[in-house]
Amino acid sequence: MTMSFSLPLVKMQALHKSYGSGAIQVLKGIDIEMKPGDRVVVIGPSGGGKSTLLRVMMGLEQIDSGSVSFDGKPYISSDGRARRTIIDTEVRRSIGMVFQHYTLFPHLNVIQNLILAPCKVRGEPKAKATSRAQALLQRFGLGAKAKAYPAQLSGGQKQRVAIARALMLDPKLMLFDEVTSALDPELVSEVEQVIMQLASQDMPMMIVTHDMWFAKNIASRVIFCAGGVVVEDGPPEQVLGSPKEERTKEFIDRVFHIKQ
Ligand SMILES: Nc1ncnc2c1ncn2[C@@H]1O[C@H](COP(=O)(O)OP(=O)(O)OP(=O)(O)O)[C@@H](O)[C@H]1O
């Protein structure tokens, strides 16, 4: 029998996070390992700490204790005394994130939004960044929108631009936090398809979503978080139930109710 081992791409150890100087405990000891090819979907009841988890991974939140490693290197840790979080920004930059609400700069057009960080952060020449940006926009069916401003785009287009913008920094891991929740239903699939496209190219990703159909179709693993801990971690069919039940609100309510 042959066994293959791959080192974790991400390793979270005993992550604790509270808001309000400890008054609201949100993460109560999270241990998650993510392997290089994993597409992890995080589900769970509202207020369970899913967004907080992703924001911690992005270095956007202070933690109380614990650590997060990327490619074997701890890049988020706590100094243990003053609740100060230590962030290795170099490592952190290899992670891209897209949020629920559009975060494009309204005063910049699409191309300018895409090339800002590569030019400013990396010192990439403008012409080179622009040609990479154009190629990405073509790939995502947005070639004609290069000169448009965010206000001239639909919600689905804005989210696809936000994904393209994150990809401009060549992330080794992508985090998606409910990126379709604010969209009209008819715009959801164009954004999900872009994420599926990235998944088919083996981009490791962690996704927070309430869309059980999407979860089932994209996940290699599903993690159920509730009450600040990981309640269940396994293949989608195990955590999400039988295909008949998927995506129904009743199913989600029942599972969340039982596990809360
Ligand atoms: N900046 C903050 N200050 C104080 N409390 C916060 C802050 N951000 C989040 N919280 C609280 O922390 C808890 C977890 O929030 P979080 O947004 O991480 O949950 P979630 O699982 O992503 O929920 P949802 O599915 O509704 O988006 C909630 O009780 C929320 O009210």
Task: Report ipTM for this prediction.
Answer: 0.95
Query: Which of these, 216, 215, 211, lies nearest to 188 by C-alpha position?
Result: 211
| pLDDT (tens place) for every residue of the chain, 260 residues total | 445 567 899 999 999 999 987 788 999 999 999 998 899 999 988 888 999 999 999 999 989 999 999 999 889 988 766 667 888 888 888 999 999 887 899 999 999 999 999 999 889 999 999 999 999 999 999 999 999 999 999 999 999 999 999 999 999 999 999 999 888 888 899 999 999 999 999 999 999 998 888 999 999 999 999 889 998 999 998 888 765 554 455 555 555 554 44
Helices (H), 2-154: 50-57, 89-92, 110-122, 126-139
CB of residue 228 inside a 6 A radius of ligand 1: no
Q: For residue 61, which atom of ligand 1 is closest to its CA?
A: 1
Domains of the chain, residue spans: 104-171
CB of residue 201 inside a 6 A radius of ligand 1: no
Residues 6+ apart with CB under 8 A from 248: 212
CB of residue 24 inside a 6 A radius of ligand 1: yes
Backbone torsions φ then ψ of 48, nearest 5 degrees: -75, -10
pTM of the model: 0.90
CB of residue 50 inside a 6 A radius of ligand 1: yes
How far apart are alpha carbons 166 and 163 in whole angstroms?
5
